[in-house]
Structure 1
Amino acid sequence: MPATLKFGFHDFLNAQPLLVPLETTAHEADFEMVKDVPARLADRLHAGELDLAMIPSIEYLSHAAEYRLVPGACIASRGAVDTVLLVLRGEAESVRTVALDERSRTSATLLRILFEEVFPPEVQYSRTHPDLAHMMRTCDAALVIGDQGFSARAHNAGWTVIDLSQRWWEQTGRAFVHAVVAVRREAALTPEMLKAIADAPNRGRASMDAIVRNQVEKTGLDASVVRDYLENKIIYTLGEEEMAGLTLFRDLCFQKKILSARPELQWAAPRTG
């Protein structure tokens, strides 16, 4: 009997079409699902507390020698995503201070790639709790991620809101991969485990009506907003276009010395025997 593997996953709105089907097949596939925020999942995977996890792409790239990339599932976007936003009080060229959502890692790296040459050289970053009103009281700009992004445009305080996924798409023509499933090298996956992950996007789409109803009750968002976000803004399958986007992100991180090496992206292979 194979050992049960601890599978970390975040519980944000964008994860539901993967998380819901994975939770229903977890026992059969010998997974124990563990929920936490993305940054903490990355820390716990690195510490060996988890065997595999959905983690920010930059965390996978930073530890690619220790992990393998699990095929089939991801969280990605092509164009506007609504939940990775740069909010500005003035022009980007005049920004001196930027508040970063403390949960952001990949998004903070994306901000640096897109705006490093736009912001003044002396710009200062600080990580803080994701409270947009407080962030904008104390800084010239704020990076907001996750479900809080839906409320950013509603503040109507004369701020400029830039969707970083849209900016990436306009500049590169590539998908942006926000998060991937990574597995520790020593944690072998069975074919059943790999199939459960690969099947999750299609099973999530098949359960979308129930997922939307549940998330409307949980978030208070309008059903049309939730459905549009989950069906049209987020991509859940790690396909060729997503891999091309992830590879470009890796290369740009290396060019800008965010990564000290250009890691090889290696797939997890099924356990045999």
Structure 2
Amino acid sequence: MTNRISIVSYLNSVPFIYGIKNHTIYKNLDLSLHIPSVSVKKFLNNEIDIGLVPVAAINKLQNFNIFSNYCIGSNGKVDTVCVFSDTPIYDVEEILIDYHSITSVNLLKLLLKDFYKINPNLKKTTDGFEKKISISQAALVIGDKAFNLHKKHKYVYDLSEAWFKMTGLPFVFACWIAKKEISQNILDDINTSFLYGINNIDCALKTNSINNIDYRTVKFYLKNRICYNFDNQKKKAMAIFLEQITDL
């Protein structure tokens, strides 16, 4: 039986993809790549069996288990979930919000309320919004497109770093879930494949297109910014985050 698996289409998922493709489990999987918000919709619509999903969507889902020892997390700066602007965040009138992930949007809302203590207007966006940030605006940009914005804007606010300053905890952006009926043997094999990919990041990068992003930047990002182990501190942080966003 083939199991349908969705992986986030960002560079931080390259080790997961590489691990799966170099494990015997690959022949039993129908693998697809999606932005985080689409992965959630596909799980809700019964279009996938296993997925890397944004943690803020967890409370909306049913009939699933968090099965993996691995996640997309960070411990301080992450570089790819940032608010960019040419005006201090305390002075902006409006923040454009990335439509790719509900987790980052909720993290922004929480930090605006409890860390920055400001209340700017939040505006939904469409593709290409990050190229149209006016002087009175800021923009929450996530994923690979954030890499090339760090040198283009005067102010960069890393939301994972802000969360760490506020809580002293790491942050979990996405975790692995599977339908409850999926065989434990299959999940164990997938978990093993993830570890292989994480332990072979250099090889994984050589087989992947980086799309005009400096190779050394991506290598540093995967090895020093993304924290893949879903350890007890990350589980604690995720539980706190999910509890706090219920009040937003």
Task: Provide TM-score, normalisation by structure 2.
Answer: 0.90
Is 1:210 matched up with 2:210?
A: no
> Aligned with 1:80: secondary structure?
coil
> Aligned with 1:50: secondary structure?
coil
AA partner of residue 238 (structure 1):
F
217, 224, 228: which one pairs with 2:220? Answer: 228
User: In the aligned structure 1, how far is the partner of 2:204 from the partner of 2:26?
Assistant: 21
CA contact (8 A) 2:111 2:117 kept: no
CA contact (8 A) 1:71 1:198 kept: yes
Cα-to-partner distance string for 1:233-255 (whole Å, 9 max, x where unaligned): 1112211111111111111112x
Cα-to-partner distance string for 1:117-145 (whole Å, 9 max, x where unaligned): 546446232222244221x0386110000
Describe how 1:194-205 pairs up with structure 2 within 5 A: 194-205=187-198
Shift of the 71–205 alpha-carbon distance from structure 1 to 2, 3 Å rule, reads: closer
Cα-to-partner distance string for 1:159-179 (whole Å, 9 max, x where unaligned): 310110111111111111000
Partner of 1:160: 155
Cα-to-partner distance string for 1:141-193 (whole Å, 9 max, x where unaligned): 100000111111121x4x310110111111111111000112234xx222322
Q: Which residues of structure 1 form unaligned runs of 5+?
A: 259-273
CA contact (8 A) 1:16 1:211 kept: yes
Identical aligned residues as a percent: 22
Farther off after superposition, 124-133 or 146-155: 124-133
82, 86, 90: which one pairs with 1:85? Answer: 82
> Aligned with 2:100: secondary structure?
coil
174, 179, 183: which one pairs with 1:190? Answer: 183
174, 178, 188: which one pairs with 2:173? Answer: 178
Q: Which residues of structure 2 form unaligned runs of 5+?
A: none
> Aligned with 1:154: secondary structure?
coil
92, 111, 114: which one pairs with 1:114? Answer: 111
Cα-Cα RMSD:
2.1
Cα offset for 1:100? 1.1
Partner of 1:241: 233
Partner of 1:147: 144
User: In the aligned structure 2, how far is the partner of 1:221 from the partner of 1:122?
Assistant: 31
Partner of 1:169: 164
Aligned length: 247
> Aligned with 2:48: secondary structure?
coil
> Aligned with 2:160: secondary structure?
helix
CA contact (8 A) 1:57 1:178 kept: yes
Farther off after superposition, 53-62 or 203-212: 203-212
AA partner of residue 189 (structure 1):
I
AA partner of residue 190 (structure 1):
S
240, 244, 247: which one pairs with 1:252? Answer: 244
Cα-to-partner distance string for 1:82-137 (whole Å, 9 max, x where unaligned): 10011123232332211112212110110001013546446232222244221x03
Structure holding more strand per residue:
2
